[in-house]
Amino acid sequence: MSSNARHAVVTGSSSGIGRSIAESLLAGGWRVTGLDVAQPTVVHPSFTHTPVNLADGTDIARVAAALPGVDALVHAAGVLRVGPLGQLDHAGGELMWRLHVDAATRLADAIVPGMAQRGQGRVVFIGSRVAQGMAGRGQYAATKAALIALARSWAAEVAAQGVTVNVVSPAATATGMLNDPARQGSAPRLPPIGRLIEPAEIAALVGFLLSESAAAITGQDIAICGGSSLAR
């Protein structure tokens, strides 16, 4: 493991999109610290698993304070709770807000100022096409829309310091989340390309946004949706 390798912090690294991002970055020569409450599933000499409850602000503060210099932050951890008005899961809504939004704010607040001081850094939040609104997923949509607002606000704050902040918003993706019993009654919508988005496709886009070639891209919400955003 090279001490000169760039260091990325990836949340949700034990499964799904987060795991694919971590593995892709490791293959590209990054050092990766994975933050996840679940046991690690990535095995690599340049990977460090740090157990943390990302829905607990105190636990996040403990972990963030011990992180060495971070070149990139990728917040991919997430859950999905669904329900129409009159049947909303309020505990689930609070969990989504803590995990998607509050964790992003706490991690960024602890990490991004250091990036700005060093004159370079990358932040990517994994959002969702649902942020534009979808029946039965209002609470989830609100948390993902909040990530876009945060990214645009913070991008404006740190653009002059060489730090970019972006959101990648996938459509339905082939991960274990699709089989979560909590989403019963809300089947994923297949994109017009006729298949689900693959986690590796999201990882490839994230990898580009973390590269020097993407230095001029900031404050953007980039869809990887298989045509779901097209007028039909």
152-184: per-residue pLDDT in tens?
999 999 999 999 999 999 999 988 766 666 555
Closest C-alpha among 144, 167, 168, 164 to residue 155:
164
* pLDDT of 39: 96
| Phi/psi-derived region of residue 169, left when phi > 0, alpha when psi is between -120 and 50, beta in every other case | beta
**CATH number, position 62:** 3.40.50.720
- Residue 229 — pLDDT band, cuts 50, 70, 90? confident
Q: Is the dihedral of CA 156, 166, 192, 171 positive or negative?
A: negative
Catalytic residue among 30, 125, 140, 154: 140
User: Quick one: pLDDT at residue 185?
Assistant: 57
H or E segment to which residue 12 belongs: none
Average the pLDDT over 122-131 and give the result.
96
Percentage above 90 pLDDT, the chain: 86
> pLDDT per residue over 63-91, tens digit each?
999 998 999 999 999 999 999 999 999 99
User: Is 191 part of any domain?
Assistant: yes
User: Is 230 a member of any domain?
Assistant: no
Instruction: Please tell me the number of Cα atoms within 13 Å of 102 on its side-chain side.
Output: 16
Domain contains 64:
yes
Give domain status of residue 231, yes or no. Answer: no
**2 occurs within a structural domain:** no
Closest CA to 221 of 211, 229, 213, 232: 229
pLDDT at site 188? 76
Quick: pLDDT tens for 2-48: 568 899 999 999 999 999 999 999 999 999 999 999 999 999 999 99
* Whether the predicted pLDDT of 216 surpasses 90: yes
Alpha helices in 132-227 (DSSP H): 138-158, 199-209
Question: Average pLDDT of the chain?
Answer: 93
| Domain range enclosing 103 | 7-224
Q: If 0-12 CB within 10 Å is exposed, 13-18 middle and 19+ buried, where does residue 120 land?
A: middle
Provide the pLDDT for residue 186: 60
Tell me the pTM.
Answer: 0.93
Averaged pLDDT, 208-230:
95
Torsion of CA 205, 220, 189, 13, to 10 degrees: 50
Number of separate domains in the chain: 1
pLDDT tops 70 at residue 1 = no
Residue 18 is among the residues annotated as catalytic for this protein: no
Q: Residue 229 domain-assigned?
A: no
- Over residues 188-204, mean pLDDT: 93
